[in-house]
Structure 1
Amino acid sequence: MTLEKQKTAIIFAVPALLMITAFLGNLFVEGWNWSPFDFAIAAVLLFGTAFFINLVIRSKKPLLTKLMICFIILLLLALVWIELAVGIFGTPFAGS
């Protein structure tokens, strides 16, 4: 179905645009110093999240269930991203 392909394209376009924005920020913004490893981790997190959200959206579950699962996925992304950025929980993989 064309509608399903459009949904999938939109879901994966968001992380792609975020990665392009991060790349341009790394080039032009002073103090933005991402290494290739940082870009790889960001890509895995963003595209992995998009993949799981796409799976949830394609499932046959009720709309409210889909929204709750997508919210949990996005919350987990935010928590992992924050932990990697500033080490809010102090785990060993935070880099602090």
Structure 2
Amino acid sequence: MITISKSLKFILAGIAFILVIPLVAMQFNTEVNWTISDFLVAGSLLMFFGFLLETAIRKIHNLSSRVVIIIALLIILFLIWAELAVGIFGTPFAGN
């Protein structure tokens, strides 16, 4: 039997909550227009960074190092998310 840890449940619940926000917004607003590929990319990105954050929390015992790594990971996540959404850097992956 496969057991799912409490932290994995928390990560998956957080991802589901974040992905429900645009899903609900699409019902009330025509400006939010996500396709299934948008949800897949966002879910994959959130899952990858969720597991990275979980690994950092478990493996890094020095508090100051842990905080720096977590902040760096969150900044990287937000920069990638913004690039995919609106193209702030002008890469071929830009969303607009």
Q: TM-score range by the shorter chain?
A: 0.7 to 0.9
Report the Cα distance in structure 2 between the residues aligned to 1:72 and 1:43, rounded to whole angstroms: 20
Q: Tell me the C-alpha RMSD between the 2 structures.
A: 1.7
Mark the runs of 5 or more structure 1 residues left unpaired by the alignment: none
Counterpart code for 1:76: I
Report the Cα distance in structure 2 between the residues aligned to 1:57 and 1:6, rounded to whole angstroms: 14
Identical aligned pairs, as a percentage? 36
Deviation of 1:92 after TM superposition, in Å, equals 1.0
Counterpart code for 1:50: G
Deviation of 1:9 after TM superposition, in Å, equals 3.4
Deviation of 1:68 after TM superposition, in Å, equals 0.7
Q: Give the TM-score normalised by structure 2.
A: 0.82
Which gives a bigger RCO, structure 1 or 2 (Cα 8 Å, sep 6+)?
1
Contact 2:26 / 2:33 at 8 angstroms: preserved in 1? yes
Superposed counterparts of 1:1-96, under 5 Å:
5-96=5-96
